[in-house]
Amino acid sequence: MATYLIAHNGESDFHIVANQYSDEAVRYAASELQKYLLKSTGAVVPYFSDRCPSRGPEIRIGPNVRGETVNADDLCEEGFRIIGKDEHIYIVGNTSRGVIYGVYYFLETFCGFACFTKDAEKIDKHPCLEIELDEIVREPAFEFRDAYFRFAFDGDFCAKNRLNTSLADLSVGKGGRMKWYNFHHSFRDLVSPNIYFDTHPEYFSEIDGERVKDSQLCLTNPEVLKIAEQTLRRWIKENPECRVFSVAQNDNRKKCNCPACLALEEEEGSPAGPIIHFVNKLADAIKDDYPNILLHTFAYQYSLPAPKYAVARDNVIVRLCSISCRFDTPLTTLAERGSEKELVYVNALRDWASHAKRLYVWDYIVNFRNYLQPFFPPHTLQANLKMYKKIGIMGILEQGNFAYGGGAAFDDMKSYIIAKLLWDPEADVDAAIHNFCQTVYGEKAGEIMEEYARYVADACQSHPLMIYQNPAAAYVTDEFVDRIEEMFEKALAAAENDVYRRRVEREQLSVRFLRLARMPLETPGRLELVDQFFDDVKSHGITEIRERRTLGAAKESMLTSLYLTERPGYSLYYIMQ
């Protein structure tokens, strides 16, 4: 273990050096290191390319600096290595994205750097920064890591927290992302019923002897395969920035029951059989022309059980969804207790592990019916992610509120915790909560907001927690609402400046929502309180408090329906990319 004096009293003998032909991402990593070392130490560590002669000890960023290569080929795609060698420090990665991750990890480890939200980060002050370093090697627990929250799509937040979210604003210079095309259900787009049904109804599901337009595809029809391949090749050609293309069932249960499809389904013992056979044929058709492209399909609803024999090709992602499960208790615990939906889901995960190299999960950590209703089970989340890792899941999407205005109800904190756990499921969740609250809300208000977070977490993990619940859910008692209302009053009083106070007020929308939703409709003054609440929701830039419903529809529901059990208004449709 060697010791390196990086800076002392605002001065540094070190230089940051990259290869003169480094790509944009490596150069960005080097400039970020310089920027944050200055913030931490007060020292400007010069940054230049190896075209300049060496002038002393160097922090060498990326591959082949001064003709010397530190191996990173043994790491996964986004892994990195930080190593001290003689007088120099090397930060290298298998890819340029790995180099960026390595730089931020270096800053986290030695300078106390953390990015909690797109608007809140910290770095410790080190007038004397002396570090001990031998070798650090880190790799992500999952190859795809997506905190699917609107504010977590911020490119800086993702890069600094090692997320490769498909929808994130991650430029090539910030390392890029694992970009998907047609992110979810796509059979309808591959072979459009609007184009083909009138002339070729045989391309679509046969149900009770009739072909149905709004259904799935007839996956054993060779013409369907031919058209799907043509469409897929066009998508790939028109979207060169995308690596993953979705070839997945529509969001309905209307599978094809024609004799050929049923025979294959019976042979495989699952409706997933015809799907995997179909997707495998497409995967084989494109793999030579596009060796880096992955195809994505679902094991979802009727296709959840794994087939007996079919194994997805290595360039196929099979993704399961936990949509029917509870989130208050770890999935394996519920399965062991015999809870039917969780038992079926966990068994399906284990079965699929031998039928797909790339097995992904679409998971959930939000109340879609009421975005502002607290949904915060961090320790259950951690237990489930540990289970996913043990089974061999390679990619995780944690879906929250992705509406364009974002939300409150712990969205930012959840995004940060998710990022930590998707990189390392063993991360300290309690420390993450504490550090988040201290920086985002300030020391005094943060102490109370941390108490609030832990109180809500305990409540959410003590009763059944589902993704579609009303404010009459078992954990939302009058005592619960009274208690958190009191906490917010104290936090607002303790907020040390307007920035902290504004952040507390945004989170306070949750308790205001619960209070109004549970308040009898005839209560004097309720109308005025509802009007003020929605004015404040808008002032915070929030565009939805109920999934795919306008604020006007949500307001109508609050005015006319105790616990918001009614859902008036039309459903919004926006593209998940």
**Separation of alpha carbons 385 and 364, rounded Å:** 12
**Separation of alpha carbons 69 and 139, rounded Å:** 19
Greatest pairwise CA separation for the chain in angstroms? 82
Tokens at 171, concatenated: 């430029």
The answer to whether the beta carbons of residues 283 and 332 sit under 8 Å apart is no
Predicted confidence (pLDDT) at residue 256 exceeds the cutoff of 90: yes
Closest among 407, 457, 409, 408 to 432, alpha carbons compared: 457
When pLDDT is averaged across residues 241-265 and rounded to a whole number, the result is 97
> What's the full length of the chain, in residues?
577
Q: What is the CATH number of the domain that holds 133?
A: 3.30.379.10
Closest among 557, 383, 385, 369 to 468, alpha carbons compared: 369
- Report pLDDT for 406: 87
Q: What is the percent of the chain with per-residue pLDDT over 90, rounded to a whole number?
A: 97
Tokens at 280, concatenated: 């495998």
- Alpha carbon of 294 to those of 236, 246, 282, 304, 339: distances in Å? 11, 9, 11, 20, 34
**Separation of alpha carbons 53 and 51, rounded Å:** 7
Helix (H) or strand (E) holding 77: none
The answer to whether the beta carbons of residues 420 and 115 sit under 8 Å apart is no
**Separation of alpha carbons 450 and 443, rounded Å:** 10
- Report pLDDT for 183: 83
With respect to residue 299, please indicate whether it lies within any of the assigned structural domains.
no
**Separation of alpha carbons 14 and 57, rounded Å:** 5
Q: Residue 399 — very low, low, confident or very high, per pLDDT cuts 50/70/90? A: very high
Predicted confidence (pLDDT) at residue 37 exceeds the cutoff of 70: yes
Quickly tell me which residue has 């939703």 as its tokens.
517
Predicted confidence (pLDDT) at residue 224 exceeds the cutoff of 60: yes
With respect to residue 180, please indicate whether it lies within any of the assigned structural domains.
no
- Alpha carbon of 505 to those of 402, 461, 493, 512: distances in Å? 20, 25, 11, 10
When pLDDT is averaged across residues 433-451 and rounded to a whole number, the result is 98
With respect to residue 35, please indicate whether it lies within any of the assigned structural domains.
yes
Predicted confidence (pLDDT) at residue 519 exceeds the cutoff of 60: yes
Tokens at 470, concatenated: 């009303």
The answer to whether the beta carbons of residues 376 and 410 sit under 8 Å apart is yes
Residues 6+ apart with CB under 8 A from 190: 217, 227, 228, 231, 232, 247
With respect to residue 108, please indicate whether it lies within any of the assigned structural domains.
yes
Closest among 91, 114, 34 to 428, alpha carbons compared: 114
Quickly tell me which residue has 């509870």 as its tokens.
326
Query: What ranges make up the beta strands (E) of 393-494?
Result: 395-399
Predicted confidence (pLDDT) at residue 574 exceeds the cutoff of 80: no
- Report pLDDT for 186: 96
With respect to residue 102, please indicate whether it lies within any of the assigned structural domains.
yes
Q: Is the dihedral of CA 422, 427, 429, 432 positive or negative?
A: negative
For residue 575, how far is the Cα from the chain centroid?
A: 17
| 3-class SS shares of the chain: helix, strand, coil, % to 5 | 40, 15, 40
Per-residue pLDDT of 3-13, as tens digits, reads 999 999 999 99
**Separation of alpha carbons 32 and 113, rounded Å:** 12
The answer to whether the beta carbons of residues 140 and 423 sit under 8 Å apart is yes
Backbone angles phi, psi at 143, to 5 degrees: -75, -25
- Report pLDDT for 576: 61
Predicted confidence (pLDDT) at residue 297 exceeds the cutoff of 60: yes
**Separation of alpha carbons 152 and 115, rounded Å:** 11
Domain residues for the domain of 93 are 2-138
- Report pLDDT for 536: 98
DSSP conformational letter for 48: E
HSE (CB half, 13 Å, CA atoms) of 500? Answer: 23
**Separation of alpha carbons 468 and 457, rounded Å:** 18
Residue 400, classified by CB atoms within 10 Å of its CB into exposed (0-12), middle (13-18) or buried (19+), is buried
Tell me the β-bridge partners of 246. 296
Coil, strand or helix: which one is 204?
strand
Helix (H) or strand (E) holding 455: helix 443-460
- Report pLDDT for 95: 96
Predicted confidence (pLDDT) at residue 577 exceeds the cutoff of 70: no
With respect to residue 331, please indicate whether it lies within any of the assigned structural domains.
no
Tokens at 223, concatenated: 């013409």
Q: Is the dihedral of CA 550, 551, 554, 555 positive or negative?
A: negative
With respect to residue 340, please indicate whether it lies within any of the assigned structural domains.
no
For residue 498, how far is the Cα from the chain centroid?
A: 30
The answer to whether the beta carbons of residues 113 and 101 sit under 8 Å apart is no
Q: How many domains does the chain have?
A: 1
With respect to residue 329, please indicate whether it lies within any of the assigned structural domains.
no
Helices (runs of H) and strands (runs of E) counted in the chain: 18, 19
HSE (CB half, 13 Å, CA atoms) of 541? Answer: 8
DSSP conformational letter for 217: B
When pLDDT is averaged across residues 204-231 and rounded to a whole number, the result is 98
Amino acid at 342: E
When pLDDT is averaged across residues 408-428 and rounded to a whole number, the result is 97
Q: What is the percent of the chain with per-residue pLDDT over 70, rounded to a whole number?
A: 99
**Separation of alpha carbons 569 and 74, rounded Å:** 55
Q: Residue 575 — very low, low, confident or very high, per pLDDT cuts 50/70/90? A: low
**Separation of alpha carbons 569 and 554, rounded Å:** 8
Per-residue pLDDT of 444-491, as tens digits, reads 999 999 999 999 999 999 999 999 999 999 999 999 999 999 999 999
